[in-house]
Structure 1
């Protein structure tokens, strides 16, 4: 081979190698979803974080039978404009599981303490299921520190005619706590959760994916996990009293309510209008309770558009 040509090829290969190394380094340095732990308000909270945006941080709060893991598909879609934080609530996932503090007012204080510890004052907050109750309790306690709020399919205890909500058809599990229930679900966590994942979905075959079911069952099987989960429901009586009081002072920040056509439907939207003066309601067509998993093509664009406004 011509020596000049050989030298040119070697130089080209060397240049390509440099470009490849730079691309690899950039990919490795690209911010993804990171895991952290913070000790706040007397508890240890595990949380996911992504993004470096300059707008208000977005706080994502999960519901029962799930953890912060549920938000992983959404977080990258918001991370270009916001810091996105998804905690495991007190009692769930890798967060600590104390004996008390499972009323939603206290759970919201946990999240507020986390936000303050990270140096943020004003946030946008999103909650699904139990998480929407925590999101509302956060906004009600710290209204000047919430830019906007999203409530996703469940209900607000103590607000309006709340005892007739669709999800209350399974009232038994709100009283399912104590020694005997804990013994019944020990080692059978997945059997218990299958009821929620299947029966609260519009189609049980198009609900929580199998890999996620395995993950959530193992997370709640951590020591104290099921007991803590039962406490979320055990505290509804106190939540109803707290929320009835909160509702006496309406919120004024923009509120988006997403409700499954085959689940909460119009009910949660009407509840939202009882507690906030600036409500946008969207029915997620064909979906049951698990909006993120059953109808991501409707749910995630609605969330991104509202939070990026």
Structure 2
């Protein structure tokens, strides 16, 4: 049985002074310990972060959603303060982690939003447990195995999707921030309006933890397995409402087209002027759309 830590601490950093308290908690779920942030009360919404970030990325959205929802934002398996096992980085397994977390909290139906790797986990969650996911929002990346996905997978970032193993780990040891800067800078419309300096320091330290970089590499190593899983999932279209938000200077219309291959009820919005880091580059456009979407 999952075991929830009975002790939590409020984390005021980044939270509005008069807003909901954000608590940091841990859950032991069938051998994998997940750290998660939680705040608010009401219908639950699950937020899944992407690569080069942690659950911390959602704090600006948590401050708004928690006014009307119970918000749960975990560090995925291998990331942040969650456990970093050697395996299990296919998105189907990572989705089962967060499903177990929601079940441990007593939630049988909830909304979910995922960015980057998190959107892949969100899709795998909805495809495996469609009766439990009421709404799903996908934020900028792609779905392996759905449509002409190799156009994105092999285009400009072939090197990092295949950058893993002992040599890769040796090259980035002690240079984690140098490696992560590529994503924060090159995937942004404007590097100066991308992930903040304070957050870059936080994320670089998180990924420099023992096992952190290896876990990150393993999510890429699993893409071919994910593609096979997702191709199977996509044969049955999702029926719950789906919102797809993409950066004009990033995924653009591609993820929206993939969403329509995988789901029946899709609203797609291209965020003007933004690159990949939607929450950091365009919070004024993204947060109100997500709040309205989960209000239903």
Aligning the two structures, in what range does the TM-score lie when normalised by the shorter sequence?
A: over 0.9
Give me the whole-angstrom Cα distance separating, in 1, the residues matched to 2:223 and 2:282: 28
CA distance in 1, matches of 2:255, 2:19: 39
- Extract structure 1 runs of 4+ deviating beyond 4 A: 27-31
Partner of 2:199: 212
- Report how many residues are paired: 281
- What's the CA shift string for 1:57-84, capped at 9, x where partnerless? 0000000000000000110101121100
The answer to whether 1:153 aligns with 2:140 is yes
TM superposition shift of 1:52: 1.4
Are positions 1:117 and 2:104 aligned together? yes
Q: SS at the partner of 1:96?
A: coil
Considering only aligned residues, what root-mean-square deviation do their CA atoms show, in Å?
A: 1.5
Kept in 1, the 8 Å contact 2:20–2:63? The answer is no
Q: What residue is the counterpart of 2:34 in the other structure?
A: 45
CA contact (8 A) 1:105 1:239 kept: yes
Take 2:122 and 2:29, find their aligned partners in 1: how far apart are those partners?
17
Which is higher, the Rg of structure 1 or of structure 2? 1
Runs of 5+ in structure 2 lacking a partner?
A: 1-15
Structure with greater helix percent: 1
Secondary structure of the equivalent of 2:150?
A: helix
TM superposition shift of 1:31: 4.3
Is 2:230 aligned against 1:243? yes
- Contact 1:41 / 1:109 at 8 angstroms: preserved in 2? no
- CA gap of 1:251–1:224, structure 2 versus 1, over 3 A, is same
Aligned to 1:36: 25
Measure, in 1, the Cα distance between the counterparts of 2:266 and 2:53.
Answer: 26
CA contact (8 A) 2:19 2:63 kept: no
Taking the aligned partners of 1:168 and 1:38, their CA distance within structure 2 comes to 38
Could you tell me the TM-score, scaled by structure 2's length?
0.93
In the alignment, what sits opposite 1:99? 86
Partner of residue 51, structure 2: 64
Q: Tell me the TM-score normalized by structure 1.
A: 0.89
Q: Is the 8 A contact 1:59 1:86 kept in 2?
A: yes
165-174 or 196-205, which deviates more: 165-174
Distance 1:220 1:96 in 2: 12
1:291–1:299 CA contact under 8 A, matched in 2: yes
Aligned match for 2:243, one of 256, 274, 277: 256
d(CA) in 2 for partners of 1:32, 1:179: 41
Correspondence for 1:81: 68
User: 1:166–1:263: 8 Å Cα contact kept in structure 2?
Assistant: no
Q: Note the residue ranges of structure 1 that are not aligned, 5 or more in a row.
A: 1-26
**Shift, 1:41, TM fit:** 3.1
SS of equivalent to 1:194: helix
